Chains A and B, each alone.
Chain A
Amino acid sequence: MVCATPQQQATFVATYAAHLMGCGIHTSRVVRNTKRVSESLNFAINISVFQKSMILTLLHKETHHTFSEVVEIPALPISFEHNSELSALSWEAIDQKLPFELLETKYNAIISKSRIDPLFVLLLVGFANASFCKLFGGDWISMAIVFSATVVGFFVRTQMLHKHINHYIVFIASSFIASLLASTALIFNITSDIAIATSVLYLIPGVPLINGVIDIVEGHTLTGISRLTSAFLLIICIAIGLSITLFLVRDSLI
């Protein structure tokens, strides 16, 4: 078996860090996890994180060779599973002094795990939004309408993202479709306002918002602000979609 070179190990550390950033983990946790992994591979590391890329400088403690890695942060779906399992892997790496080959095998096993069935996600998102409707005081008919509107909106979003359409346009379209379908509640004497308002909640970029705040609080101001900016742009897109519906069906925003 051929042993991995320090260069290959450094590249692995960079890939690991980029994957963590891509799947929606706040910066300080990415830095901590990556430091643990690099420590287990006998590297000292410095990391600079930006919105779209990362720069890692790794110093091999034995050979004193320095490796610089610039990696692009991939646009991955948010994954709490990858978050927790890759964090656990970093602890395992340092606690059990995992050899590089085993570490890489475990990493590949985690990232290639089966994804959640799209139909399952579609239905659960529908239920989640219908529950929001109930939490805000909506009645059962509004909940059913919100469920259906969310399912259609989420389906539109998924299909458009598959076709690599600009995600701002995707958010405007999905928000418009979901709120338009929810606005059919207006023809009944029910809690239609709540139905319309909650129909777009599935689009709210909660993870980037939370991560942005955590990043700023923990001193990663640059990434924090860029994450919040992206999140706010998406929220503006949701508002545009919702506003189009309101202007069409009610001639005003309120």
Chain B
Amino acid sequence: MEVFWRTIANYNNATWIYQVILVIIGVILTARLITKPGQRTKLAMKIYLIVLNSWIAIVYYLIYCEERKYNNILALFWGIIACLWIWDTIKGHTTFTRSHKHDILAYFLIVMPFIYPAISLARGLSFPSITSPVMPCSVAVFTIGLLLMFSENINMYIVLFLGHWSIIAISKTYFFNIPEDFLLASASVPALYLFFKEYFMRDLHKDTKPNSKYITMLLIILCIIIGSLLTATLFIGLIQGK
């Protein structure tokens, strides 16, 4: 755990200025995507996401998390997500078409990267040993929020990879004592439910079995199980904290 927070401190110390630049670019692009979603803005956002994911893979994991065991796995993981965005940019799977269906949750998720450091500070941590908006979980939650806001045509591979990251986030709260990751895990559960429901339910006019209501029920039960696990983990954490 010490290594974990030390690597975060080193990363924040050395890259805070670049993180600020990345955050500013992200805010501008997101605002433009919401207000004036032209083709250039959409392309710029995809390029930004390629850069952001590559940053996490190379700068965060390969360079500053070198001390950690198996940092190469996570670098590879984020490298694959960056590649998925490159492929998406070429093929045009994600169209960034506004759906207006889940705006409240989407806005909440997009703002969440700024809540991460606020929680760290509220927990009594101080810079540089705090979570920042340009860290894996913040990037994951931002991407999920962005995809949820523009959920007309989404790249399901990216959603599934980020969903896997959410499961890792649940485990990280246990092993590395990062309660901030509860935000990602708990926020991604309803988002993943919505993604799955929308992606697969599009085919429900086709004659499939069991009935769509049972599939929806199964999805809801799954989300309830994950939610219960999160709650249990949170309570265990609180009890251990006391």
- Where the two chains meet, the residues of A that have a C-beta atom closer than 8 Å to any C-beta of B are 114-120, 122-123, 141, 144-145, 147-149, 151-152, 155-156, 159, 180-181, 183-184, 186-190, 248-249
Residues of B within 8 A of A115 (CB): 207-209
A117-B215, A144-B171 are contacts. A187–B156 as well, Cβ < 8 Å? no
Known A184-B77, A187-B68: A120·B171 in contact at CB below 8 Å: no
Q: Bound state CA distance, A253 and B199, in angstroms? A: 37
Partner of A155, one of B74, B160, B167, B214: B160
Contact call B209/A114, Cβ cutoff below 8 A? yes
Q: Given the known inter-chain contacts A115-B208, A120-B218, A249-B72, please indicate yes or no for A156 contacting B171, CB distance below 8 A.
A: no
A-B contact pairs, 10 of them (CB 8 A): A115-B207, A117-B209, A119-B200, A148-B163, A152-B164, A156-B157, A181-B164, A186-B70, A186-B73, A187-B73
Give Cα A230–Cα B207 distance, bound, in whole angstroms: 32
When C-beta atoms are compared, the residue in chain B nearest to A186 turns out to be B70
Q: Which of B71-85 contact A (CB under 8 A)?
A: 72-74, 76-77, 80
Pairwise interchain contact A189-B175, C-beta atoms closer than 8 A: yes
B181: min CB distance to chain A, Å? 13
Q: Interface extent on B, as a size class?
A: 35 or more
Residues of A near B167 (CB, < 8 A) are 144-145, 147-148
Contact of B200 among A118, A181, A190 (CB under 8 A): A118
What chain B residues lie within 8 Å of A155 (beta carbons)? 156-157, 160
Contact pattern, B 66-105, Cβ under 8 Å of A = 1, otherwise 0: 0011101110110010000000000000000000000000
Q: What is the predominant secondary structure among interface residues of chain A facing chain B?
A: helix
* Closest chain A residue, CB of each to CB of B72: A249
* Pick from B69, B74, B160, B215: contact of A119, CB under 8 Å: B215
Least CB distance, A156 to chain B, in whole angstroms: 7
Q: B157 and A180: CB pair below 8 A?
A: no
Closest CB in chain A relative to B157 CB, distance in Å = 7
CB pair A248–B72 under 8 Å, yes or no, is yes
A sample of 16 more A-B contacts (CB under 8 A), given A183-B73, A249-B76, is: A114-B209, A118-B203, A123-B219, A144-B171, A145-B167, A145-B168, A145-B171, A152-B161, A180-B73, A180-B77, A184-B77, A184-B164, A184-B168, A187-B70, A189-B175, A248-B72
What residue of chain B has the Cβ atom nearest to residue A155's Cβ? Answer: B160
CB distance from A116 to the nearest CB of B (A): 6
Asked whether B76 lies within 8 Å of A248 as measured between CB atoms, the reply is yes
Q: Which residue of B lies closest to A115 (CB)?
A: B208
Main SS class of interface, B: helix
B210 within 8 A of A: yes
Please tell me if the beta carbons of B203 and A187 are within 8 angstroms of each other in the complex: no
Measured CA separation A151–B199 after assembly (Å): 14
In the complex, how many angstroms separate the beta carbon of B175 from the nearest chain A beta carbon?
A: 5
**Residue B114 interfacial (CB < 8 Å):** no
Ranked 5 nearest A-B pairs via Cβ: A119-B200, A114-B207, A117-B208, A148-B164, A152-B160
CB-CB under 8 A from B203, the residues of chain A are: 118
CB–CB A123/B218 < 8 A: yes
A119 to B196, CA, bound (A): 8
0/1 string, B181-217, CB within 8 A of A gives 1: 0000000000000001000110110011110101100
Q: Is the CB of B157 within 8 A of A184?
A: no
Within 8 A of A (CB), among B153-178: 156-157, 160-161, 163-164, 167-168, 170-171, 174-175
